[in-house]
């Protein structure tokens, strides 16, 4: 019976809802989805464990700006009282990236339950009114990450599927703001995507692009 097989879950919107259980993917402490990033765990109060993309399709990447420095953003996402977190944070000075929520899990980042379930959130250190925060290193590192996410989940590399927090339906946020250079960023994402495709073709396409967390 369908109802008996479904899992009753309570999320941060304080609404009861039903979903079919996922496939219970194995988890290892400190494991990341993107090669080269560091792991710092967000508070479990700021996310919902899931089995994406088996229980929820991932078809969006949401771009955020922290409105804080890097260290503060990490601290906030580790605070169980904050009630939100993104999957990744990218540092301005050097493009260093930390993962705080596994991609298979639902992070509370978009302010919209449906978009939380269907997207991966990437925070960028800085302030929306300080264009100097959006460095070349940050753009390049984030673009590489977004390209790999799109590759993992077959997300089209376009502005319908790679969006700002301000473009989430019902959002009251303005990030990434008018100083975020979308033309530049999307160009870098496409370059990263095309470079990966060319490398895979030259090597016979036998390599794995999914990182350690997609087994």
Listed in sequence order, the residues at least 6 apart from 17 whose beta carbon sits closer than 8 Å to its beta carbon are 9, 11
User: What whole-number distance in Å separates Cα of residue 149 and Cα of residue 103?
Assistant: 9
154: Cα separation from own chain's centroid: 14
Q: Do residues 92 and 135 lie in contact, with contact meaning Cβ atoms separated by under 8 Å?
A: yes
Can you tell me the distance from the alpha carbon of 64 to that of 125, in angstroms, rounded to the nearest whole number?
Answer: 9
136 phi and psi angles, rounded to 5 deg: -60, -40
For the chain, first and last CA: distance in Å? 30
Q: Are the CB atoms for 62 and 120 separated by under 8 Å?
A: yes
Closest CA to 116 of 38, 17, 214: 17
Residue of 123, 136, 137, 160 marked active site: 123
117 noted as active-site residue: no
Instruction: For residue 175, give Cα distances in angstroms to 71, 103, 171.
Output: 19, 21, 10
Catalytic residue positions? 123
């Amino acid at each position: 019976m369908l109802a008996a097989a479904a899992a009753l879950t309570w999320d941060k919107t304080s609404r009861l809802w039903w979903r079919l259980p996922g496939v219970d993917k194995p988890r290892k402490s400190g494991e990341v989805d993107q090669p080269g990033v560091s792991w710092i765990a967000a508070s479990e109060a700021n996310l919902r464990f899931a089995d994406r993309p088996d229980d929820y399709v991932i078809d969006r990447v949401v771009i955020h700006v922290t409105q804080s420095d890097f260290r503060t953003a990490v601290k906030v996402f580790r605070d169980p009282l904050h009630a939100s977190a993104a999957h990744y944070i990218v540092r301005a000075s050097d493009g260093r990236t930390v993962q705080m929520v596994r991609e298979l899990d639902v992070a509370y980042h978009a302010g919209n339950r449906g978009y939380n379930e269907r997207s991966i959130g990437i925070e960028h250190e800085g302030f929306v009114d300080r264009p100097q925060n959006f460095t070349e290193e940050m753009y390049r590192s984030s673009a590489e990450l977004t390209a790999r996410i799109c590759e993992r989940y077959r997300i089209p590399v376009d502005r319908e599927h790679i969006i700002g927090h301000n473009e989430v339906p019902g959002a009251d946020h303005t990030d990434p703001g008018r100083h975020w250079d979308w033309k530049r960023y999307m160009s870098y994402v496409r370059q990263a995507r095309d470079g990966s495709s060319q490398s895979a073709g030259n090597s016979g396409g036998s390599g794995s692009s999914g990182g350690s967390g997609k087994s």
